Amino acid sequence: MGPGGERRTAGEAAARGPGGAQRPEIARPGRVRRGASGPQGLLLAAVAALALIPEVASAGPPVWCHRIRRGDTLFALARRYDTSVRELRRLNPLRRDSRLLAGRTLTLPALVELRRGRLGLAPEPLRARPGDVQHENLHADRLGLSRMRDLRMVERFVRAGLLVPVPEETRTYWVAGVPAALRVARPWTKRFIEQLARGFHELFGGRLKVTSLTRTAEVQRVLRARNINAAPARGRAPSAHLTGATVDISKSGLAGPAIAWLRHVLGRLAREHRVLHAIEEFREPHFHLMVFRHYPSFARTLASPILIGGC
């Protein structure tokens, strides 16, 4: 049994080795009560006019995709997002007889505005909160994720396929300052890095910089000695980097729109989709991200990486 009472996979175990108010009266659409005049009459007329406006998507954080629900139709979605069925078909590979598959995503016209930098993303920073480290460890324990003690343990996990290599250089991201032996991550974390980086590259043309992946207990002890704010290597709340599920993505050199996009996307993935835990660091400017095992199920719903965090 793994920490938190969940059973480990055989591969993981082997790789570990030892150790009532009255309702207000509202005028019906198109009708104003007789005798109403002055401010009251204007108010009632305004309410009546609002009732005639077609339903559109509610105000809130910008979206550039729609996650299809059972019963959705292109006509209803076009009305909701103030567009046309023709435009939705143009943006998505849909034939006239195409069915909308629940769980999949549709690209919305707002994606054009996103590409042009006109969507107006202004999310709040993803600041750390008390209990963040404990939250990450609780999740790791529930999944039965092992913490890497040393390089030999890392090697065993790589051989078992529980950790996978992360390339040092790609077209959409690169890894900086991480020893070759530790350029590894959980498979779902690697999938997240690739998808986020592809979406970023498609929008901004640049690459993401990865500054930390898997760490061993010894590496974490050395880091803790240099930086008192770093999580410990052992105890009740060790660093989530020891699990191999965590990645740090640098903010250095990124322009304001790129950082705003990352905040928006990562915040939505954390709060609404619950596929990761995100903290934004400022002393050493980066995003600290623990990716959850079920991320690949979410990833498969995206028609394109650029839709990540868009709905």
> Which residues in the chain show pLDDT less than 70?
1-60, 97, 224, 228-229, 232-233, 235
User: How does pLDDT run across 16-39, given as a tens digit for each residue?
Assistant: 665 544 343 333 344 434 444 554
For 31-175, where are the E strands, in sequence order?
A: 65-67, 105-107, 164-165, 173-175
User: How does pLDDT run across 255-288, given as a tens digit for each residue?
Assistant: 999 999 999 999 999 999 999 999 999 988 999 9
| Helices assigned H by DSSP within 70-109 | 74-80, 85-91
CATH number of 38-115: 3.10.350.10
Enumerate the β-bridge partners of residue 304: none
CATH number of 132-307: 3.30.1380.10
pLDDT value at residue 63? 92
* 3-state SS, residue 55: coil
Residue limits of CATH 3.10.350.10 in the chain: 38-115
Residue limits of CATH 3.30.1380.10 in the chain: 132-307
Q: Which residues contact 70 (CB under 8 A, 6 or more apart)?
A: 102
Q: Give kind and range of the element (H or E) at residue 257.
A: helix 256-271
pLDDT value at residue 299? 96
pLDDT value at residue 122? 86
pLDDT value at residue 33? 42
The residue among 207, 194, 201, 174 whose CA lies nearest residue 295 is: 194
Distance CA 209, CA 120 (A): 24
pLDDT value at residue 233? 67
pLDDT value at residue 8? 55
pLDDT value at residue 262? 98
Distance CA 13, CA 80 (A): 50
Please, are residues 214 and 148 in contact by the beta-carbon 8 Å criterion? yes
Distance CA 1, CA 5 (A): 6
pLDDT value at residue 148? 97
